[in-house]
Amino acid sequence: MVDRHLFVCTNQKSEVGREVAKALKIEIKKQGLKSVTVKGEKRRNRVQTCNCLDVCKNCKKGPGAALVVYPEGIFYGNVKPKDAADIVHEHLGEGRVVKKLVIEG
């Protein structure tokens, strides 16, 4: 089984990280990607919050949150709740990185 974990930073003064995590969870469920079978292999997608991903300077300290997708190690920055649908559909569903949100980890 291959699991993907999305770790969302909640170390902002605002609650945007928690809002992003909630939006991601809702989209994963809505798009039917909580648990899927890909090429005969079961895959689960999970969202967790964390305190700091140490990418603030790359995140440009914008109004969004940083998150990282494992096992790929892809970092996204300045993510807002409205970006959740794109991340879930493109990255988790189609396997394509959402380039407009990528930052260096």
pLDDT in tens, 29-48: 999 999 988 778 888 999 99
pTM (two decimals): 0.91
Token pair listed for 98: 């959402």
Q: Residue 70: its pLDDT value, please?
A: 95
Token pair listed for 70: 């494992």
Q: Is 27 exposed, middle or buried (0-12, 13-18, 19+ CB in 10 A)?
A: buried
pLDDT in tens, 76-91: 999 999 999 999 999 9
Domains of the chain are 2-103 (3.40.30.10)
